[in-house]
Amino acid sequence: MKKTLLLACVAALSMLGSCNKEAQENLTKSGLDPKNFEAVVGEDSTALYVLTNKNGMEVCVTNFGARIVSIMTPDINGKLQDVVLGFDSINQYINIPTDFGATIGRYANRINKGQITVDGNLIQLPTNNYGHCLHGGPKGWQNRVFKANQTSESTIILTLQSPDGDMNFPGNVNVSVKYELTDDNAIDIQYEGTTDKNTVLNMTNHSYFNLNGDPNIPITNDTLFINAETFTPVDSTFMTTGAIVSVKETPLDFTTPTEIGARINEDNVQLSNGHGYDHNWVLRESNDITTVAAKVISPVTGIVLEVLTDQPGIQVYTGNFLDGTVTGKKGITYQQRTAVCLETQVYPDSPNKCLVSDQWPSPFLKPGETYKHHTIFRFSVNK
């Protein structure tokens, strides 16, 4: 009898061990369980998709908001580190309002008072940030389920149909986002969009990067380079004033690589208005995908992130409003300045300001035209 019980216990323990091993094998390199990303939102299903390259790098993407959930890239010792903020499950993305890793649309950044003029008609968009329309309004594309088509181990294409009147934006708009993890350890992102009515379109990716591989460590000691000699100042509501001014002799001068936190607390009206860095820089090499627009280096891991883009501007945001109220992956609480966002874009409020100044790029899209936007996040180590 005792022998039978002993054998039964051994069998049960063996089965439990086998189940634990199987569960571990099903996790991604970043520790995500794909089952936790399976849900139905409205009538659409969500999932987690895993991209890999020949170097063992891994990028996880969910079709909820076409979001980057994790990026595992090697540090200076060859150890893989997860370098973006995010959540462990789809329920957290649905129930906790954040832009972590999201594809933003229809219009990334802010539109003054939520008003645009199209075909001579003034259109009132929803206002959700200091009286302005931010990131497409309260129900922007970061909260929509995209259709996903993973075409290879390294590539996924996500598509969305945005109907005429979506958040009051005109036109039936069809967009696609293509993520490709290349063998030189870069995430190559290509956006396309078409419309059947005159409208505005300005898309971006809103990943929160922490190259330290540990969100407990702030990004203030990271070195930042921005290839821009001018920026668009903002007022106390984060709205661009219409001016384009030099960064020279200001805390916004990153033409020479400088620690993010070196001047972030200086007595400066722009830092006060932005609660730190939350500004659009006017890129020196606009429309040139071969030139580095921005570069961040972690002194902890040696990981380097280079941003290349064909867009005219880049919004750099230093996690000023992270305040410890959100708990992310692995139970880590996200405190202030534990991430930096690098959002390639057309300038904030361009739908209005391009009408009065040719220095501001036009975000208007017409039927028969194709919106195209190309950005690359390229990773390496600082040797």
| pLDDT tens, residue by residue, 183-232 | 999 999 999 999 999 999 999 999 999 999 999 999 999 999 999 999 99
Sequence ranges of the domains in the chain: 34-381
Which pLDDT value is given to residue 25?
Answer: 74
- Catalytic residue list contains 343: yes
Q: Give yes or no for residue 73 having a pLDDT over 80.
A: yes
What burial class does residue 174 get, using C-beta atoms within 10 Å of its C-beta: 0-12 exposed, 13-18 middle, 19+ buried? middle
- And the tokens for 37? 């990303």
pLDDT digits (tens, 9 = 90+) for 89-125: 999 999 999 999 999 999 999 999 999 999 999 999 9
pLDDT of 47 above 80: yes
Say whether pLDDT at 72 is over 90. Answer: yes
Q: Which of 58, 180, 306, 343 is catalytic?
A: 343
- Own/partner contacts of 12-20, CB < 8 Å, gap of 24 or more, are none
Among this protein's residues, is 206 annotated catalytic?
yes
Considering the four listed CATH numbers 2.60.200.20, 3.30.530.20, 3.40.190.10, 2.70.98.10, the one that applies to the domain covering 34-381 is: 2.70.98.10
- Each residue's pLDDT tens digit, 146-179: 999 999 999 999 999 999 999 999 999 999 999 9
Measured CA to CA, the distance from residue 316 to residue 100 in angstroms comes to 14
Is a pLDDT exceeding 60 seen at residue 3? no
- For the cut 90, the answer to whether the pLDDT of residue 287 exceeds it is no
Which of 135, 206, 279, 373 is an active site residue? Answer: 206
Give tens-digit pLDDT for 302-312: 999 999 999 99
Q: What is the pLDDT of residue 19?
A: 47
**pLDDT score for 39:** 97
Rounded Cα–Cα distance for residues 355 and 340 (Å)? 31
